A = this chain, B = another copy of it.
């Protein structure tokens, strides 16, 4: 699967707008989750696998490659994976989602049990 990059046409968009490349990248399975799980620091690929409910290594490695190519995470020898400054910035950008998820849960419970 092609690695999404800004200013390049991506899966589902012919415009090449950066936001589209980003939505393609983040819309792939486990991509958001991986970034989320790296919020507190380094994780080896196996720790990451555990953290993501034993995701299959095939997809995990795909996502890791893509996220690395996108410059959002980095791999350091004997440490594992971590967010780059850019990746950290991205995480901060959707950190409000966590708070939202809680409100969402509250509202969904109120409505439908």
Interface status of A98 (Cβ within 8 A of chain B): yes
- A-to-B contact residues, CB < 8 Å: 5-7, 12-14, 17-23, 26-33, 36, 52-53, 55, 70-71, 86, 89-90, 92-94, 96-105, 107-109, 111
Copies of the chain in the assembly: 2
> Main SS of the interface on chain A?
helix
Question: Quick one: given A100-B93, A108-B5, A109-B6, are A23 and B32 in contact (CB under 8 Å)?
Answer: yes
Add 9 more A-B contacts to A71-B111, A90-B97 (CB < 8 A).
Answer: A12-B52, A18-B101, A21-B105, A23-B33, A27-B31, A27-B32, A70-B104, A89-B100, A93-B99
A32-B23, A93-B96, A97-B22 given; A105·B6 CB < 8 A: yes
